[in-house]
Amino acid sequence: MATPNPTKHILVIPFPAQGHLLPLLDLVHLLSMRHGFSLSILVTPQNLPLIQPFLSSTPTASPLLFPLPSHPSIPPGIEHSRHLPPHIHPALLSLPLSLLKPQILSWSKSIPNPISLLISDSFLGWTESLAREIGVPRVNFASTGAFGTAVIDYLYLHVPKKTNELIQLESLPSSPSFPYLELPRVWCCYKPGDPDWEFIRESILANFSSWGVMTNTFNALESEYISFLKNFYGHNRVWAVGPIQPTGPVASHGGNSSVSSAELTAWLATCPQKSVVYVCFGSQYTPSESQASAIATALELSGVRFIWPLGGLSAVIPEGFEERTKGKGLVIRGWAPQVEILHHPAVGSFLTHCGWNSVLEGVVAGVTLLTWPVQAEQFINAKLLVQAVGMALKAASGSDAVPEAEELAKIFAESVGMRAASLTDEMREKAVEIQREAVAAVNEGGSSHKDILDFVNAISLK
């Protein structure tokens, strides 16, 4: 561990959703371990247990605990996105958090070791003015990739009209176009004139003037979009620091599972190399009954080995499925140790909802990615993988999609080499190349390693 560096005290304000919170904590853990920075992590009482593993493994970090103020748009008692009813967009949690501004400000004036930098999530653009009032630079942490960030920025800047036609994002590299409903939900939910949503828009626009940006991606995957962001923000302080590695106890990424890690490893040890399909839709989405039924039928028809965590809300699967597939697959109720599973040599492919963390985890593990985006900026991520980079195969698309079980079965079988593949050699080669680049990026001398050093140099000059 690095010697503590008392001259740098970073205030970290994460956004309370797993996909945002975990990579930011992993990143600042690394900054603390390598460079000794002191960290104060803003957290509300309900989320404190969630960050406990991080606090225990990061000696220079302490929680900055404030109760979450009430706000008319958020039901009382909710402090984390996963407890919100589906009609409330998680980004609106930024509203009650923003009410903490005066308390954070007076705390910052009262402490002996003054704050020298603020790092906060891109859903918390209001922290830009907080940083200004404290008198420190702010780094905007974008938990999604550069393409996803560029799309959200573009939409909130240009506010294109809602239409049934494709919406073309003209100034972005290759001018991509998307059906309206495949654009990030954080934009589709925007209601012009609604005070809550105007606040969100102002927050996103405020991100454009942050002193720096850290994004969880790497050059070989998104160089075009990283350059785009540098141009867009008008400076080079856009650091691509990914894939941010899950570290220490944070690595399990939390959650209870119905299958122990030992059981999983024992079962995987019985499977040939690259023979298992892993199916997972992340922490926010539960497939509908008809989607779960299509997936189950396809898994059965294909005869592949599989691991399928059903998620927190447990998707409803067809009766008898587990008995019929006994030995062939594992259905997990609750949380799966995803990173561990993906890295097991027996796992060959991953049907993913294309949440950004899952994408990066799949890329690093070098499994074949089968895409089925359902919401948020997942359609953007799927387009990046399937079209722009050409390293993944489309399995399905959309939260209403129910693929033909026979078709999906073919894709499953092809992805683990049980059928002649429509997966081209080119696609497989690209995936291998990007995996190699992902691993190299974070190692000494790699592009993301260099960007972290560049960030550390830039803040030490401030």
Cα dihedral across residues 47, 48, 53, 55: positive or negative: positive
CB of 4 to ligand UDP, least distance (A): 29
Annotation says 20 is catalytic = yes
According to DSSP, residue 95 is labeled H
Cα–Cα distances in angstroms (integers) from residue 20 to residues 26, 49, 121, 341, 415, in the given order: 11, 16, 7, 21, 30
Report the interface residues with ligand UDP, using CB under 6 A.
18-19, 22, 253, 280, 282-284, 309, 335-336, 338-339, 355-358, 361
Nearer CB in complex with ligand UDP: 18/122: 18
- Output the CA–CA distances (angstroms, integers) from residue 258 to 249, 283, 309, 335, in the order listed: 19, 16, 9, 8
Q: Which amino acid is at 217?
A: T
Residue 30 vs 339, nearer CB to ligand UDP: 339
Phi, psi of 284, deg, nearest 5: -110, -25
Pick the closer one to ligand UDP by CB: 207 or 338.
Answer: 338
Residue 338: CB minimum distance to ligand UDP, A: 3
Contact 331, 322 (CB under 8 A): yes
Q: Shortest distance, CB of residue 66 to ligand UDP, whole angstroms?
A: 24
What is the Cα–Cα distance from 128 to 396, expressed in whole angstroms? 38
Beta strands in 281-380 (DSSP E): 305-309, 329-332, 347-352, 368-371
| Closest CB to ligand UDP: residue number | 355
Exactly one of 121, 153, 196, 451 is catalytic; name it. 121
> Is the Cβ of residue 9 or residue 29 nearer to ligand UDP in the bound state?
29
Cβ contact 280:352 at 8 Å? yes
For residue 422, the minimal CB distance to ligand UDP (Å) is 25
Our CB check for ligand UDP shows the closer of 137 and 355 to be 355
CB 415 within 8 A of CB 393: yes
Catalytic residue among 9, 20, 29, 253: 20
Where in 326-387 does DSSP place strands (E)? 329-332, 347-352, 368-371
Output the smallest distance, CB 365 to ligand UDP, in A.
10
Instruction: Between 89 and 253, name the residue whose CB sits nearer to ligand UDP.
Output: 253
> What's the closest the beta carbon of residue 125 comes to ligand UDP, in angstroms?
19
Q: What's the rounded Cα separation, in Å, for the pair 236 and 229? A: 9
Task: Cite the active site residues.
Answer: 20, 121
